[in-house]
A and B are shown apart, each in its own frame.
Chain A
Amino acid sequence: MERSENLNYYELLEIPVNASSFEVRQAYRSVLSIYEEDSMISDAFFTDEERNAILRRIEEAFSTLIDKSQRAAYNKELTAAGIIDASLLEKGKRKSKGPIPLFSLKKTGGQESLFARVKSLIEKKDFTEVSEEILSKNLISGKDLERLRKHVGIAVDEIFEVTRISMKVLTAIESDDVASLPQTFYLKNFLKAYAELFKLDSGKVIGGYLENIARLNNNR
């Protein structure tokens, strides 16, 4: 059992010594929700005196750590006493974590940015050599499409995110898995979307691909 008097302010609030003021505030709120008067928990554990002592200590911790100059003085005190390592304060200085805006356009991982990423890859990369070579063939296989995709540097699940063609269909197309391919009508549309994403002549791709499939069917 750790008596709250024996803990330093950082331990009391359970935050690293280089925590930002935002983190201090959050930690303070969460610790308060345990010990405050109308919390369900503190009633059961502590007498009023014990709780008030802990609460006073929490207030003290918060008011010190939230004030820049007071915190610096307190850090100096702790460092002098050898309780905390001065290097922790310096080295670990992270960019302060501010509140996250509700609607951020710079948000990563969202659909918008992924779409933009795929688009810019296709825009920037010069892959005419590979695509011309593929289009010049009479038979276009899924392997060709896969080769092109990998050449540009796009993952198959990114194609899914952008085109919304299901992963099952995409893998079936790329591996020429005749049995799992959708019906021709749908397949044509999927191929069209795939081809247009890479700025290929969709008519040629569809024609070449279907012919290749027909050949595979005959061979079976």
Chain B
Amino acid sequence: MARIYAIGGGKGGSGKSFLAANFGALFARQGHNTVLVDLDLGGANLHSLLGLRQVKKGLNSYLNKSVSDLSAVAVPTEIPNLHLISSVDCSLEIGNLFYAQKVKIIHAIHRLPFDTVLIDLGAGSTYNVLDFFLSAHEGIFVFTPEPTSIQNTVQFIKAVYLRRVKQILKHYAFSNVVKELAGESEAGLVRSPLDIVDRVMIKDPDRGKLLEKELRKLAFKLVLNQYRKHIDETLGNKIEKVCNRHFYAGFQFLGNIAYDERVHNSVLAKTLFVNKYPYTPTSTDLKQVSEMMLKNAGKTPSAIGKYGEV
């Protein structure tokens, strides 16, 4: 079975697609048969980073049943071992995916005959994005060293966390607890996920323990992209610390990726940065982080979300 990594979080332009593409190339270089899945639905652009002008087939062919197997729409790239499943052929309204379609995609991704799957997600914290993120074996949050980006990513982390809390509560038929809690707050306003966990703990300690146990299984990774020299080098570690302190889930900071002006050039040239500029600090950072990702591979074999069991 393929090992699935989801890359998400952060505002637009924080480098999620850039990281996905370059990690993909590095994995492929290590001999892992890798496929990139562009799930930035409605804003697909991963093919361009990989130097593909037009992608004839993609996710849509699978959704409209012209092919029966998702792996049939994986197109090879210039890099050996690296494939792409694009969603550029989908309709402009694909952003609002139906629930059944979402589940179908998640299951299909889990069946892909590759060693490694990298999911590139879009910005925002809609249910689609959250569920795709939670369906992976490893979720990687990307942020850049700016308050706006950190705020955005932290909101995404909280949203993912809340989604998982709700999934667990539903799975163990705690939904009455949720309803009770929802009834207390003003209509439509969702409480902070930390609050919900606390409430469950106080109201029903046994279930609270179960919830805590389930949440402890979550293992997220953090990557700081566009790291510039004058910034506090422990920023990533500090965020890791705060996350570990204030969420029940486990967080691990994988490292900084140095900022490089030439990233822009590589995007314009439609070549991958690690191939165009292999001997730069940025490429070294990318290599280190990708090695960390592979090193951890054996440790958490089960997928994060409820879709993992399928």
Contacts and interface: CB of A to CB of B under 8 A. Distances in A.
Interface string A31-48: 001100000111111000
Interface stretch (B31-39, B115-123, B125-133, B244-252): B244-252
Interface in A161-212: none
Given A1-B197, A33-B238, A44 B245 contact: no
B228 interface: no
A2 interface: yes
* Residue from the set A33, A40, A42 with the largest chain B CB neighbour count within 10 Å: A40
Given A41-B238, A44-B155, A1 B150 contact: no
Interface string B126-155: 000000000000000000011100110111
Contacts of A2: 245-246
A43 B246 contact: no
A2 B245 CA distance: 6
Given A1-B194, A40-B235, A41-B150, A34 B242 contact: yes
Q: How large is the interface on B (under 10, 10 to 19, 20 to 34, 35 or more residues)?
A: 20 to 34
A155 B151 CA distance: 55
Interface residues of A, number: 11
Given A40-B150, A40-B235, A44-B147, A34 B155 contact: no
Interface in B226-250: 232, 235, 238-239, 241-242, 245-248
B145 A40 contact: yes
Interface string A1-17: 11100000000000000
B247 A1 contact: yes
A40 B147 contact: yes
* Residue from the set A3, A43, A44 with the largest chain B CB neighbour count within 10 Å: A44
B242 A41 contact: yes
A43 B245 contact: no
Contact of A41 (B197, B239, B247): B239
Contacts of B247: 1
Nearest to A47: B192
A81 B291 CA distance: 46
A206 to B, nearest CB: 46
B233 to A, nearest CB: 12
A34 B198 CA distance: 23
A44 B143 CA distance: 12
B155 A1 contact: no
Nearest to B243: A45
Contacts of B150: 40-41, 43-44
Interface in B204-244: 232, 235, 238-239, 241-242
A34 B242 CA distance: 8
Contacts of B238: 33-34, 41
Contacts of A42: 242
Nearest to B145: A40
Interface in B175-205: 194, 197-198
Given A1-B197, A40-B147, A41-B150, 7 more contacts: A1-B194, A1-B247, A40-B235, A41-B239, A44-B151, A44-B154, A45-B246
9 contacts: A1-B198, A1-B245, A1-B246, A34-B242, A40-B147, A41-B150, A43-B150, A43-B151, A44-B154
